[in-house]
Amino acid sequence: MRKILFMGAFFICLIAIEFLATTTIHIEAVENVWDKANHFVAFFTLYFLLSLAYKKLSIKAKAGLLVLFGMQIEFVQSFIPGRDFSLLDVVADSIGILIGVVAYKLYKKFF
């Protein structure tokens, strides 16, 4: 049952992040935060939820899938007026994933 809840939470976050990253609607709560912090928190959360939901996937597989998702977002943004492709955003995503790996390992060790 917990696995299903974590899967649901992961996919809800995935869809919400895709929407927020590609919408042309101005959302003040998102825009008032440093952009790289948004990327870090989003991908940290995605990695942690993905790890809780799909424990048998390797670290490389989870990280690879999320980096590809981040690159897909940047690619889509390159076609949205006022947005562009940013490698620094992909770096922020990757740092969030890396810290997520460490946090999940600590979580598994203590819980």
Nearest one of 45, 41, 49 to 3, comparing CA atoms: 49
Please write the tens of the pLDDT for every residue from 10-64.
Answer: 999 999 999 999 998 888 777 777 889 999 999 999 999 999 999 999 999 999 9
Please write the tens of the pLDDT for every residue from 68-102.
Answer: 999 999 999 999 998 899 999 999 999 999 999 99
Listed by start position, the domains of the chain span 2-110
pLDDT of residue 108 exceeding 90? yes
pLDDT score, position 24:
87
How far is the C-alpha of 9 from the C-alpha of 30, rounded, in Å?
20
In the block, which residue shows the tokens 């997520």?
100
How far is the C-alpha of 103 from the C-alpha of 110, rounded, in Å?
11
In the block, which residue shows the tokens 């990757």?
94
How far is the C-alpha of 69 from the C-alpha of 67, rounded, in Å?
5
Residues 68/14, Cβ–Cβ less than 8 Å: no
